[in-house]
């Protein structure tokens, strides 16, 4: 029985591109794993506390940090909704990372999840793809790829819905067709990746 750890961090519960895509992923995952388990954390609805001196000193003896670390260690796959806010990840997702990464317990060579597949839905209001004017403002995929592989040696894959603000900003109206195409591609990728991952874990 495979376990999926699912994290969402978009501030809006409705109308969120990252939540829509993670939902599509989970729907297909459940179809493929009807007996499987999904552990869900909505980091916006129930934000974790920022890391403080007491939690750092306690390490894995801190009850919350131990709980988060155990959830990660038990996961056969991880799904993260990570919308871009001010060119980076939501602070709630950063809080999760700070709490769950416990050096000397589960980070680096102590990682309990080497090779575990992590799918990140990195939505953004504009486009920060290579060759675009704001390419060097992209601090979501770059950061998450480094921290997740560097700390946990996991296998990270990204789904990137772009131009999500095209429908609400008049100055981006001409980009609506591209936004629609990007959303459709992201939803399709979510379903395909979830199905392929489920098959891989079942093998």
pLDDT in tens, 142-174: 999 999 999 999 999 999 999 999 999 999 999
pTM of the model: 0.95
Three-state DSSP state, 6: strand
Cβ pair 134, 128 in contact under 8 A:
yes
pLDDT in tens, 69-106: 999 999 999 999 999 999 999 999 999 999 999 999 99
The domains located in the chain, with CATH, are: 3-202 (3.40.50.360)
């Amino acid at each position: 029985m495979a376990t999926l750890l699912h994290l969402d961090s978009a501030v809006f519960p409705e109308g969120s591109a990252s939540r829509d895509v993670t939902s599509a992923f989970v729907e297909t995952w459940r179809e493929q794993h009807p007996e499987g388990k999904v552990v869900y954390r909505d980091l916006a609805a129930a934000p974790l506390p920022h890391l403080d001196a007491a939690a750092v000193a306690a390490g894995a003896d801190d009850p919350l940090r131990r709980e988060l670390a155990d959830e990660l260690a038990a996961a056969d796959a991880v799904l993260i909704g990570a919308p871009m806010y001010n060119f980076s990840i939501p602070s709630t997702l950063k809080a999760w990372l700070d709490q769950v990464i416990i050096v000397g317990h589960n980070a680096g060579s102590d990682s309990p999840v080497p090779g575990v597949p992590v799918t990140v839905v990195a939505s953004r209001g504009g486009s920060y793809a290579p060759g675009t004017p704001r390419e060097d403002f992209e601090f979501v995929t770059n950061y998450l790829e480094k921290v997740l592989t560097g700390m946990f040696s996991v296998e990270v894959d990204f789904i990137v819905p772009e131009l999500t603000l095209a429908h609400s900003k008049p100055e981006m109206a001409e980009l609506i067709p591209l936004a629609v195409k990007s959303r459709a591609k992201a939803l399709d990728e979510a379903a395909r990746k979830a199905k392929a991952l489920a098959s891989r874990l079942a093998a």
